[in-house]
């Protein structure tokens, strides 16, 4: 899930497989999106050890990224409803990757890889956040639509919550409900 940084350190290149699963985000940004409506329910992916509220049942897509430190399995649950797109993704990195990079550096590299996979986006200010004692990063980006994201590192598992919405819904209750509902179980 990390971006490859050409010319960077060997350690950075070792842990930086391309985030193939986010390449499709650029295409999703071309869709006109609006806030979701209707009932919201708690979603608990069986292997995720987490929960989040969503306005429907997301679809699972699993992929494996090959890195010098071994394969990394990415599970991505995606739901598109009323034009809004909600994604809950997670992957377990080898513990040596987290130790070698540290939480904040790993979160920054994930953000760079995610945003680097899209064109014509303007990053918005970011802020360090926490989920209990676990470090996180909240950030966004503006394009034709607005991206709101929170990434958390819990042990060696990286969680990503991403909402793509229309500009008028970007800070509205629908996006906040999704982002604020996330829990580690």
Q: What is the CATH number of the domain that holds 134?
A: 3.40.1000.10
pTM for the whole thing? 0.80
pLDDT at residue 63 greater than cutoff 90: yes
Q: Is 56 within a domain? A: yes
**Total number of domains in the chain:** 1
Q: Is 100 within a domain? A: yes
Count helices and strands in the chain by DSSP H and E runs: 5, 10
Q: Is 2 within a domain? A: no
pLDDT band of 171, cuts 50, 70, 90: low
pLDDT at residue 129 greater than cutoff 60: yes
Residue with tokens 């306005």: 55
- CA–CA dist 83, 166 (Å, integer): 9
Higher-confidence position of 129 and 9 = 129
Structure-token pair, residue 12: 């950075």
Domain that holds residue 108: 10-184
Helices (H), 25-86: 25-29
Q: Is 5 within a domain? A: no
Q: Is 98 within a domain? A: yes
Q: Is 108 within a domain? A: yes
């Amino acid at each position: 899930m990390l971006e490859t940084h050409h010319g960077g350190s060997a350690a950075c290149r070792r842990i930086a497989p391309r985030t193939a699963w986010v390449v499709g985000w650029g295409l999703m940004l071309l869709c006109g999106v609006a806030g979701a409506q209707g009932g919201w329910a708690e979603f608990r992916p069986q292997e995720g050890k987490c929960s989040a509220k969503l306005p429907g049942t997301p679809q699972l897509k699993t992929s494996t990224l090959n890195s010098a430190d071994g394969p990394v399995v990415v599970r991505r649950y995606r739901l598109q409803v009323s034009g809004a797109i909600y994604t809950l993704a997670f992957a377990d990195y080898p513990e040596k990757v987290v130790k070698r990079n540290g939480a904040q550096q790993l979160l920054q590299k994930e953000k760079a890889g995610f945003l680097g996979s899209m064109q014509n986006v303007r990053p918005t200010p970011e802020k360090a956040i926490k989920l209990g004692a676990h470090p996180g990063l909240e950030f966004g980006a503006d394009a034709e639509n607005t991206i709101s994201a929170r990434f958390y590192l819990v042990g060696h598992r990286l969680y990503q919550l991403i909402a793509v919405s229309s500009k008028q819904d970007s800070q509205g209750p629908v996006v906040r409900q999704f982002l604020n509902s996330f829990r580690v179980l």
